[in-house]
Amino acid sequence: MTGTIPIHDTARHLAEWERRKAAFLDFVAEFEDGRRVTVGVDKLDPVRGICLARFCHPDGLRRKVLPSIIRARFEKNGGVLASYDQATLAAACGGAR
């Protein structure tokens, strides 16, 4: 295959992972139960961030109803690009929890 890195070349694998990770933004979601979930997204899309954060919540696959997200923000290199409170998140998602 063209463009593949041999499995024994760990340094190149790590460099490729760092390069790909640098292209993502961090979406940090804080839930009512006190848990904080951070997921990588490719653009400032709060709906996508919420969907991924809910899926990645530790109870995401076990519980039918998850706690609400009370705060969320997009970060890049430690700086906050956008932040949302509970009302703003509900408006962005059309009232979805």
- Is residue 85 in a domain? yes
Q: How many separate domains does the chain show? A: 1
- The answer as to whether 1 is a domain residue is no
Q: Does some domain include residue 34?
A: yes
Give me Rg for the CA atoms of the chain: 16
For the CA atoms of 32, 92, 81, 14, what is the dihedral angle to 10 degrees?
70
Residue 7 belongs to some domain of the structure: no
The answer to whether residue 83 sits within a structural domain is yes
**How far is residue 75's CA from residue 51's CA, in Å, rounded to a whole number?**
17
Strand 36-41 and strand 69-76: pairing? unpaired
Give the whole-angstrom CA distance, residue 77 versus residue 21.
11
In a domain, 57, yes or no: yes
Report helix, strand or coil for 60.
coil
Q: Is the pTM of this model over 0.85?
A: no
30 in any annotated domain: yes
Per DSSP, helices labelled H in 35-85 are: 46-56
In a domain, 48, yes or no: yes
52's tokens: 């991924």
Q: What range defines the domain where residue 82 resides?
A: 19-92
pLDDT tens, residue by residue, 40-89: 998 999 999 999 999 999 888 787 788 999 999 999 888 999 999 999 88
Tens digits of per-residue pLDDT, 9-48?
778 878 877 777 777 899 999 999 999 999 999 899 999 9
